[in-house]
Copies of this chain bind each other. A is one copy, B any other.
Amino acid sequence: MSDLDAVLARVDADLDAAIDRLFATLRLKSISTDPAYAAETRACAEWHAADLASVGFDASVRDTAGHPMVVAHNRSVAGTSVLFYGHYDVQPVDPLELWEHDPFAPSVETRPDGSRMIVGRGAADDKGQLMTFVEACRAWKAVTGKLPIPVTVLLEGEEESGGVNLPPFLDANTDELRADLALICDTNMWDPQTPAITTSLRGLCGEEITIHAADRDLHSGFYGSAAANPNHVLARIIADLRDEEGHITIPGFYDGVPELPRALKESWAKLDFSTQAFLGEVGLSVPAGEKGRSALEMVWSRPTCEVNGMGGGYQGAGFKTVIPAQASAKISFRLVFDQDPHKVRAAFREFVKARVPADCRVEFMEHGSGTAAAFDTGAPAFQKTQGALTAEWGREAVFVGGGGSIPVTTLIKDKLGIDVVMVGFGLSDDRIHSPNEKYDLKSFHKGIRSWVRILAAL
């Protein structure tokens, strides 16, 4: 039996224990965006450092101005060195009442078709995914006493909350983190049978605006019409963000957004993608964005603007005839190609200010910035990874775009000057960021096996 086959067999034999280890981190409420969970977020970092140490890594928890990083090295062998990035923080869980089980009491559930899934907040994003890599290292270590190539692991605790402390951390630790290649496991398969390597991601510009009007809540009977209503001011701003064709109307927003290169467009056209199936899976049917573009093109290669949250006035049961003193919205822009998140933010702020009445004021709060990223799939690392994935899944791995934003990808590319290979085993129905998040047990199991093969191939 070859080393590779022995390590794969070890993965199969150790699966139940791997699930138990994953459950241990899934139980930790590492909700980075909510200060109430700061202590538990740190506890999660410490758990991962201890777990990596148990695999033979030299692991440590590193303080930042926010939640800590975990850095772990195992570089006892020669070869192509890799920096693996994952994040141990998770999204908030509200609305809690829509969860079928406690989001932090993970379990394996069996579906009617016999397939099994790991259920809980973070199961897919990103604890389940990052543990596929850690478990692959554990199996190599257990069988051969070492890893096949030098590995450094970097786990972030603020990926879901802006990640403002990552750039200075990379700057301050460039030498320690330098490697030949970076690996990230925070993306999806193409479909449940087809593995994928994501070669482009959208950037992100997150912004919160609060419109302040009267200095107190007013009775709408006494002040209705006469007094500015911040709900109306906010609705007008949001409505004005798009025109009837679905274009975003902020001046200069599309600067740096070229039409898609023909080769990529043709490659994507070959993918078996159905807009109706994509939307139908979540109960929708009408593409909502720019008219005349496919949903795939919009999600992978076009910028967007989404109001992720908004609120103002009385939202409880019943009715209250109030004109609120303030209303606010959290808005994210997904960016592509050469869009500059700082320019987008500045243009958005001007756009908002122009729509705030003279007796109201607007308050802005920044929630993270990241540019888009794209890689050349012809590089050897991409070809080797594609081969390893194809061997594991019995179907050719495809190169895809990604609609989400993993700002670290651009940061690593820019600050360390290396390529980033994004491989992940999530599925589109994983409900990440939503109630009842899950990760298929098959994704977890074959994900570990995939990394075993990729580590060998590299």
- Contact check: which of B217, B222, B227, B288 meets A228 at CB < 8 Å? B288
CA distance in complex: A321, B331 (Å): 8
Say how far A217's CB is from chain B's closest CB, in angstroms.
Answer: 4
Given A238-B232, A239-B238, A359-B284, CB of A309 within 8 Å of CB of B313:
yes
Contact string against B for A residues 420-458, beta-carbon threshold 8 Å, 1 for contact and 0 otherwise: 000000001001111100000000000000000000000
The yes or no answer to A91 lying at the interface (CB within 8 A) is yes
| A322/B288 contact (C-beta < 8 A), A226-B298, A299-B222, A311-B312 known | no
Determine which of B235, B298, B358 lies in contact with A239 in the assembled complex, contact meaning CB atoms within 8 Å. B235
Stretch of A49-57, A109-117, A207-215, A251-259 on the interface side: A207-215
The reply on A103 being an interface residue by CB < 8 A is no
A33's closest neighbor in chain B, by CB?
B318
Q: Which A309-323 residues have C-beta < 8 A from chain B?
A: 309-323
Q: Does A132 contact B (CB under 8 A)?
A: no
Which listed segment binds B: A78-86, A275-283, A375-383?
A275-283
- The answer to whether B299 and A226 touch across the interface, beta carbons within 8 angstroms, is yes
A191 CB–B CB distance under 8 Å = no
| Min distance, Cβ A61 to any Cβ of chain B, angstroms | 22
* A289 located at the interface, meaning its Cβ lies under 8 Å from any Cβ of chain B in the complex: yes
Question: Chain B residues with Cβ under 8 A from A33's Cβ?
Answer: 316-320
CB distance from A425 to the nearest CB of B (A): 15
> Which of chain B's residues have a CB closer than 8 A to the CB of A433?
217-219, 320-322
Q: Report chain B residues within 8 Å CB of A402.
A: 221
Measured CA separation A278–B279 after assembly (Å): 51
Per the 8 Å Cβ criterion, residues 391-442 of A in contact with B are 402-405, 428, 431-435
| Complex-state Cα separation, A33 to B314, whole angstroms | 12
Q: How far is the CA of A428 from the CA of B204 in the complex (A)?
A: 46
A279 to B229, CA, bound (A): 13
Complex Cα distance, B320 from A161, in Å, reads 8
Q: Which residues 192-251 in A have Cβ within 8 Å of B in the complex? A: 202, 204, 206, 208, 213-229, 231-232, 234-236, 238-242, 246
Chain B residues within 8 Å of A241, by CB: 232
- Is A286 an interface residue when CB atoms closer than 8 A count as contact? yes
Question: A311 to B308, Cβ gap below 8 A?
Answer: no
Asked whether A324 is an interface residue with its Cβ less than 8 Å from the other chain, the reply is: yes
Known A-B contacts A216-B434, A220-B334; the reply to A287 vs B226 at CB < 8 A is yes
Give the docked Cα–Cα distance between A25 and B358 (Å): 42
User: What chain B residues lie within 8 Å of A208 (beta carbons)?
Assistant: 319
Q: Is the CB of A226 within 8 A of B435?
A: no
Task: Contact check, B289 vs A226: say whether CB atoms are below 8 A apart.
Answer: yes
| A307, B229: Cβ atoms closer than 8 Å | yes
- Closest B residue by C-beta to A201: B221
A332 near B: Cβ within 8 Å? Answer: yes
Residue of B nearest to A230 (CB): B307
Give every chain B residue within 8 A of A434 (Cβ-Cβ).
216-219, 322
Partner of A221, one of B225, B239, B404: B404
Return chain B residues, CB-CB under 8 Å to A168: none
- List of B residues within 8 angstroms of A302 by Cβ: 225
A214: B residues at CB distance < 8 A: 282-284
Tell me which of B222, B285, B319, B403 contacts A359 (CB under 8 A). B285
Chain A interface residues toward B at CB < 8 A: 32-35, 91-92, 94-95, 160-162, 202, 204, 206, 208, 213-229, 231-232, 234-236, 238-242, 246, 275, 278-279, 282-290, 295, 298-299, 302, 304, 306-324, 327-330, 332, 334, 357-360, 367-368, 402-405, 428, 431-435
Instruction: Supply 23 A–B pairs (Cβ within 8 Å), ascending by A.
Output: A33-B317, A33-B320, A91-B320, A92-B316, A160-B320, A202-B221, A216-B435, A222-B299, A225-B287, A225-B288, A225-B299, A226-B287, A226-B289, A227-B279, A232-B238, A232-B241, A232-B288, A307-B313, A309-B320, A309-B322, A315-B328, A318-B367, A322-B434
